[in-house]
Structure 1
Amino acid sequence: MSTSDLVPRRAAAQVVAALTDTRVVLISGARQAGKSTLVKVVAGDRLADRRDLDREADRAAAIADPEGFVDSPQLLVIDEIQRVPQLLLAIKVAVDGDPRPGRYLLTGSSQLYGMVAAPDALPGRMETVELWPFSQGEIDGAPDGFVDAIFTLGPALRHQSSVTRADYAARIVRGGLPEATVRNDARRRQRFFDSYVQALIDRDVRQLSDIQHKGELRKLVRLLAARSATVIGANSLESALGLSRPTIARYLQALEEIFLVKRIPGWSRNLGTRATAAPKLVFVDSGLAANELDVDAHALLRPGAQFGPLLESFVLSELSRQLTWSEQAVEIFHYRDHSKFEVDAVLENRAGQVVGVEVKAASTVRSDDFRGLRRLADRLGDDFIAGVVLHTGDSTLPFGDRMRAMPVSALWQVAAPSGEA
């Protein structure tokens, strides 16, 4: 039995709950993030039919007779629904005629509504559960409770850590894709990452967009890895790739829709400004980003290596994972103003309360590392709960009103307060 069979997924409870009151449930996430394994766990002993659209025979049947394909008196599981998006209309007809909850459990490796061929078929009928690669807490059997803890406890939160810089580097290059986590040999893991990215470009991206320059798309992925956790605009990549801005923008959108990268939007109290602010880009899996830069854990710690940007990308992706199951309904942004004050991550709940997070790839934290967080606190007043500089040292240290330095491992080693998820 593989590690992916053994590791409990935090998304499982969300899927089970959704099946009790929603007609169609979609588990959406990167290829090989563990969606099929999660489906097996959730389906359990239920009576269920299963279809897999990666299989040619199933795909041909779905195309030939969509209504017949989705006709089932019991739970019907359909893997990789994006392969035949026209099935969504047949599912709509079926659930409108029989509105019982738990009719269909779908998985998808592309964001359905970004697909050229996907009809806007299931508003109000479908709940989407986002599944990321393993979080560090899922791998370690740790709580993964930082978001709920910091919003509940604020600057009272404390954490001591024994995780070293070398440990962080090893976690970054391993990433969280289940297949990669069981490959201890670095060369074998590299081959997996290489084939994974190439398969996404050859198969999944082609479904989403008219790709005429696959070589440039491969180059774009490497450029994005080199600029991970930075503000990215299509215009900044134009000269490096020799492609037009609209083409680059389309390729970036496709890479996001297959869950290779994630864009973190800019934060502002002004919603109009927020909508137009340049996003920051991170890789969904840090192991893929490190592999694109051709660095192992040892090389990552050398002077001049990309440890800092990759650590920030790693933190932002871990926070993004956690937001899919935290009790607090929180969105993630970054902050950058005209005076060049910056905050790596701005977490805002629905009440407008904010936690700011900076990432520092060093074990020593200085007062100046809180410069952006203090600016944010001044703007927000009482709505600012805490500013945290996550560092590679071992202790939590106070740096003034509501400001704390805290080890990065707090992200997954801190438990949510009692009564929280």
Structure 2
Amino acid sequence: MIDRAIITRVKENLTFFPIVSIIGPRQVGKTTLAKQLSGQLSKPTLYLDLELATDAQKLEDAQTYLQQNTSKCVILDEIQRMPHLFPLLRALVDQQREPARFVLLGSSSPDLIRESSESLAGRISYIELMPFSWPEVMFSGTMAMHWLKGGFPEAFLAPRLILTFRWLSSFVQTYIERDIRALGYELSGPILNKLLSMIAHINSSILNVSDLARSLGVSQPTVNRYLDLLEGSFVIHRLPPYFANVSKRLVKSPKLYLRDSGLLHQLAQVISYDVLLGHPVVGASWEGYVIEQTRRVVGTEWSFYYYRTAAGAEIDLLLIAPNGKKIAIEIKLSNAPTVSKGFYQSIADINPDYSFIVIPDGDSYPKADGLWVCNLTEFLIVRLPTIYSN
């Protein structure tokens, strides 16, 4: 059993919110986490899997059934299968408002489950559970293997690489195509597969929707719709640009990333660490990996941006902590990195509170002007928490 970092936050929110929703892709351990919680709450729990016909049948008269179990914390798994329950849950919570009434598990973001954000506002807390982060598995494997395989439990824990990538290939076909369609969205399988393959090869690049549309032979609105669905399904992330009050022309389009590095490598047909190190996607893959690991550690309360001028000066990742601190991050695959003039120019533009060059696993040491070279592990488990606490 690999402990998940979010469990403390889930338990804390259950002491205050009537409804806590754990959202994330399939196969990341939402059900395991919810069942683990069952023995740790102050009230008994009732677990219902809405993909099982027997459990779904119990909710044919959902109002009567749920009103008979008001003393329990009801866990509803795969809630996106029954979005019509949201208004009922709101009414039941309003009749008896107390913490830990319901735990909802879903494989889609609240943007895709339209009714949830509208019906349950003020009553629900959303917590994102993604594949294993590096700090969660650092005692169960190497960073190289975590980067290569990604963090989906079945992929990361597979005994052989061939099984890892067979699982990831199956995930693309079954989860992305079937589950998005199950929400009522009509998709073209061939177009979606081609789009994913294209995203893998432009990973970490500035998004150009018109180029994607032209290559796919579809309209720009169609490409944007597909990107919205992929982002809402936790597959991709569009990193927005940071706009500052500087007298320079700035790039205004987002950068595009596949969130799980294993999924990226499967789509790019990179199935070994040696192949990865010599593959054209390696630098972009490492950049995306660092950004995603940072997201998994700090959560959704931090703001994520990149900064780039029209002249090419750039900060790979600009973080803004909940306390307002700005952190500028240059991401380098080399353990002996050189710093570009453009990074220093961007630092002068932004004037961040902290500046780092994040490397894989070398020694951490200071450079001039408050800039630190820092390995990823130390950055995630020491530096970021310290910045937030200050």
Q: Specify the code of the residue in structure 2 equivalent to 1:367.
A: V
Could you tell me how far 1:417 is from its partner in structure 2?
Answer: 4.4
User: In the aligned structure 2, how far is the partner of 1:42 from the partner of 1:118?
Assistant: 23
Relative distance call for 1:314 and 1:209 in structure 2 (3 A) is farther
Other-structure match for 1:258:
233
User: In the aligned structure 1, how far is the partner of 2:164 from the partner of 2:78?
Assistant: 24
Deviations 1:65-118 (A, max 9, x none): 342354322110001111111111110010011111110011111013323665
Query: Could you say what the CA RMSD is over the residues aligned between the two structures, in angstroms?
Result: 2.6
Other-structure match for 1:175:
150
Q: Specify the code of the residue in structure 1 equivalent to 2:330.
A: E
Q: Within the alignment, does 1:352 sit opposite 2:324 as a pair?
A: yes
Could you tell me how far 1:208 is from its partner in structure 2?
Answer: 4.2
User: In the aligned structure 1, how far is the partner of 2:372 from the partner of 2:118?
Assistant: 45
TM-score normalised by L of structure 1: 0.83
**Given that residues 86 and 115 in structure 2 are in contact (C-alpha distance below 8 angstroms), is that contact kept between their aligned partners in structure 1?**
no
**Given that residues 183 and 189 in structure 1 are in contact (C-alpha distance below 8 angstroms), is that contact kept between their aligned partners in structure 2?**
yes
Q: Specify the code of the residue in structure 1 equivalent to 2:229.
A: A
User: In the aligned structure 1, how far is the partner of 2:210 from the partner of 2:113?
Assistant: 24
Q: Within the alignment, does 1:56 sit opposite 2:53 as a pair?
A: yes
User: In the aligned structure 1, how far is the partner of 2:353 from the partner of 2:73?
Assistant: 44
User: In the aligned structure 1, how far is the partner of 2:57 from the partner of 2:343?
Assistant: 55
Could you tell me how far 1:56 is from its partner in structure 2?
Answer: 2.8
Deviations 1:335-375 (A, max 9, x none): 1122221111100124432111111122321232xx34323
Could you tell me how far 1:265 is from its partner in structure 2?
Answer: 1.4
Relative distance call for 1:119 and 1:301 in structure 2 (3 A) is closer
Q: Specify the code of the residue in structure 1 equivalent to 2:339.
A: S
Could you tell me how far 1:61 is from its partner in structure 2?
Answer: 4.6
User: In the aligned structure 1, how far is the partner of 2:198 from the partner of 2:387?
Assistant: 43
Relative distance call for 1:192 and 1:408 in structure 2 (3 A) is same
Relative distance call for 1:419 and 1:220 in structure 2 (3 A) is closer
**Given that residues 113 and 120 in structure 1 are in contact (C-alpha distance below 8 angstroms), is that contact kept between their aligned partners in structure 2?**
no
Relative distance call for 1:288 and 1:185 in structure 2 (3 A) is same
43-52 vs 13-22, which deviates more? 43-52
Other-structure match for 2:248:
none
Q: Give the match's secondary structure for 2:76.
A: strand
Could you tell me how far 1:255 is from its partner in structure 2?
Answer: 0.7
Could you tell me how far 1:141 is from its partner in structure 2?
Answer: 4.6
Q: Give the match's secondary structure for 1:102.
A: coil
**Which structure 1 segments of 5+ residues have no match?**
1-5, 143-162, 271-275
Runs of 4+ in 1 over 6 A off after TM superposition: none
Q: Within the alignment, does 1:408 sit opposite 2:388 as a pair?
A: no
Other-structure match for 1:188:
163
Other-structure match for 1:79:
77
Aligned length: 380
Q: Specify the code of the residue in structure 1 equivalent to 2:56.
A: R
Q: Give the number of the structure with larger relative contact order, counting CA–CA contacts within 8 Å between residues 6 or more apart.
A: 1
Q: Give the match's secondary structure for 1:281.
A: strand
Q: Specify the code of the residue in structure 1 equivalent to 2:376.
A: V
**Which structure 2 segments of 5+ residues have no match?**
246-250
Q: Specify the code of the residue in structure 1 equivalent to 2:347.
A: A
User: In the aligned structure 1, how far is the partner of 2:118 from the partner of 2:307?
Assistant: 33
Q: Within the alignment, does 1:375 sit opposite 2:354 as a pair?
A: no
Q: Give the match's secondary structure for 2:353.
A: strand
Q: Within the alignment, does 1:335 sit opposite 2:310 as a pair?
A: no
The within-5 A match list for 1:269-348 is 269=244, 277-295=252-270, 296-302=272-278, 304-324=279-299, 329-348=301-320
Relative distance call for 1:7 and 1:346 in structure 2 (3 A) is same
TM-score normalised by L of structure 2: 0.90
The within-5 A match list for 1:98-137 is 98-115=96-113, 120-137=118-135
Q: Which residue of the other structure, out of 22, 28, 33, is the alignment partner of 2:28?
A: 33
Q: Specify the code of the residue in structure 2 equivalent to 1:100.
A: E
The within-5 A match list for 1:229-248 is 229-248=204-223
The within-5 A match list for 1:156-235 is 168-208=143-183, 210-235=185-210
Other-structure match for 1:19:
14
Could you tell me how far 1:168 is from its partner in structure 2?
Answer: 4.7
**Given that residues 209 and 254 in structure 1 are in contact (C-alpha distance below 8 angstroms), is that contact kept between their aligned partners in structure 2?**
no
User: In the aligned structure 1, how far is the partner of 2:295 from the partner of 2:239?
Assistant: 9
User: In the aligned structure 2, how far is the partner of 1:89 from the partner of 1:98?
Assistant: 15
228-237 vs 10-19, which deviates more? 228-237
Could you tell me how far 1:334 is from its partner in structure 2?
Answer: 1.1
Could you tell me how far 1:310 is from its partner in structure 2?
Answer: 0.5
